[in-house]
Amino acid sequence: MPQTHKMSSILLLPLFYLLFSPSSAEIAAKPGVNYGQLGNNLPSSHQSIKLIKSLKAARVKIYDTNPTILNALQNTGIQVSVMVRNEIITNISSNQTLANEWVHSNILPFYPKTIIRYILVGNEILSQQDNVTWFNLVPAMRRIRQSLVLHKLKKIKVGTPLAMDCLEVSFPPSSGKFWSSLTDSVIKPLLQFVTKTKSFFFVDVYTYFAWVADPVNIKLGYALLQPNVSGYIDPVSGLKYGDLLDQMLDALYFAMKRVGYPDTRLFIAETGWPNDGDVDQIGANIYNAAVYNRNAIKKFTEKPLRGTPLKPGVVLPSFIFALYNENQKTGPGTERHFGLLYPNGTNIYEIDLSGKTLESEFKKALPVPTNNEPYKGKIWCVAERGANTTALGGALSYACGQGNGTCDPIQPGGKCFKPDSLKWHASYAFSSYWAQFRKSGGTCYFNGLAVQTTKNPSFGSCKFPSVTL
Domain residues for the domain of 426 are 378-468
DSSP 78-107: -EEEEEE-GGGHHHHHT-HHHHHHHHHHHT
What local confidence, expressed as pLDDT, does residue 399 receive?
96
CB 63 within 8 A of CB 80: no
Among 330, 361, 392, the domain-final residue is 361
What local confidence, expressed as pLDDT, does residue 403 receive?
77
Looking at the structure, tell me whether residues 313 and 388 fall in a common domain.
Answer: no
What local confidence, expressed as pLDDT, does residue 69 receive?
98
Least Cα distance to 35 among 52, 53, 47 occurs for: 52
Residue 22 lies in a domain: yes
Mean pLDDT is lowest, of 147-151, 191-195, 443-447, for: 443-447
Residue 97 lies in a domain: no
What local confidence, expressed as pLDDT, does residue 96 receive?
98
Looking at the structure, tell me whether residues 305 and 407 fall in a common domain.
Answer: no
How large is the average pLDDT for residues 91-104?
98
Confidence of residue 228 (pLDDT cuts 50, 70, 90): confident
Instruction: In whole angstroms, give the CA distance from residue 293 to residue 316.
Output: 14
pLDDT single digits (tens) 353-379: 999 999 999 999 999 999 999 999 999
What local confidence, expressed as pLDDT, does residue 1 receive?
37
Residue 109 lies in a domain: no
Q: What is the mean pLDDT of the chain?
A: 93
Among 326, 361, 396, the domain-final residue is 361
Least Cα distance to 217 among 4, 6, 8 occurs for: 4
357, HSE (Cβ side, Cα atoms, 13 Å): 13
How large is the average pLDDT for residues 46-59?
98
Least Cα distance to 298 among 25, 31, 21, 19 occurs for: 31
Alpha-carbon torsion angle 103, 104, 109, 112, nearest 10: 50
Looking at the structure, tell me whether residues 349 and 382 fall in a common domain.
Answer: no
CB atoms within 10 A of CB 317: 25
What local confidence, expressed as pLDDT, does residue 74 receive?
98
pLDDT of residue 6 exceeding 70: no
CB 160 within 8 A of CB 202: yes
pLDDT single digits (tens) 411-422: 999 999 999 999
How large is the average pLDDT for residues 367-395?
95
Q: Give the domain CATH number at 395.
A: 1.20.58.1040
What local confidence, expressed as pLDDT, does residue 17 receive?
32
Of these residues, 26, 101, 124, 373, which one is catalytic? 124
Looking at the structure, tell me whether residues 165 and 234 fall in a common domain.
Answer: yes
Domains contained in the chain, number: 2
Residue 83 lies in a domain: no
pLDDT of residue 10 exceeding 70: no
pLDDT of residue 21 exceeding 90: no
Contacts of 303 (CB under 8 A, 6+ apart): none
pLDDT of residue 150 exceeding 50: yes
What local confidence, expressed as pLDDT, does residue 3 receive?
32
Looking at the structure, tell me whether residues 311 and 424 fall in a common domain.
Answer: no
pLDDT of residue 24 exceeding 70: no
Beta bridge partners of 449: none
Looking at the structure, tell me whether residues 332 and 436 fall in a common domain.
Answer: no
Q: Is the peptide bond before 161 cis (omega within 30 degrees of 0)?
A: no
Residue 271 lies in a domain: yes
Residue 296 lies in a domain: yes
H/E stretch holding 147: helix 131-150
Looking at the structure, tell me whether residues 357 and 437 fall in a common domain.
Answer: no
Looking at the structure, tell me whether residues 319 and 390 fall in a common domain.
Answer: no
Residue 70 lies in a domain: no
Confidence of residue 22 (pLDDT cuts 50, 70, 90): very low
Q: Is the peptide bond before 139 cis (omega within 30 degrees of 0)?
A: no
- Category of 213 on φ-ψ map: left (φ > 0), alpha (ψ -120 to 50) or beta: alpha
Looking at the structure, tell me whether residues 350 and 384 fall in a common domain.
Answer: no
CB atoms within 10 A of CB 33: 28
Confidence of residue 26 (pLDDT cuts 50, 70, 90): low
pLDDT of residue 113 exceeding 80: yes
User: What percent of the chain shows pLDDT beyond 70?
Assistant: 94
Q: Give the domain CATH number at 180.
A: 3.20.20.80
Looking at the structure, tell me whether residues 179 and 256 fall in a common domain.
Answer: yes
pLDDT single digits (tens) 306-349: 999 999 999 999 999 999 999 999 989 999 999 999 999 999 99
Pairing of the two strands 450-453 and 79-84: unpaired
CB 431 within 8 A of CB 400: no
CA 358, distance to chain mean position in Å, is 25
Contacts of 413 (CB under 8 A, 6+ apart): none
Looking at the structure, tell me whether residues 272 and 407 fall in a common domain.
Answer: no
What local confidence, expressed as pLDDT, does residue 404 receive?
82
Among 327, 361, 395, the domain-final residue is 361
What local confidence, expressed as pLDDT, does residue 111 receive?
97
What local confidence, expressed as pLDDT, does residue 29 receive?
82
Residue 124 appears among annotated catalytic residues: yes
Instruction: In whole angstroms, give the CA distance from residue 287 to residue 280.
Output: 18
Whether this model's pTM surpasses 0.85: yes
Looking at the structure, tell me whether residues 333 and 421 fall in a common domain.
Answer: no
Of these residues, 26, 87, 101, 270, which one is catalytic? 270
Which residue would you say has higher pLDDT here, 28 or 410? 410
Longest CA pairwise span in the chain (Å): 81
Residue 335 appears among annotated catalytic residues: no
- Angstrom CA distances, 280 to 193, 195, 267, stand at 42, 42, 32
pLDDT of residue 27 exceeding 80: no
Residue 350 lies in a domain: yes
The winner for highest mean pLDDT among 1-15, 18-32, 348-362 is 348-362
Confidence of residue 127 (pLDDT cuts 50, 70, 90): very high
How large is the average pLDDT for residues 221-232?
95
Supply the Cα-derived Rg of the chain in whole angstroms.
24
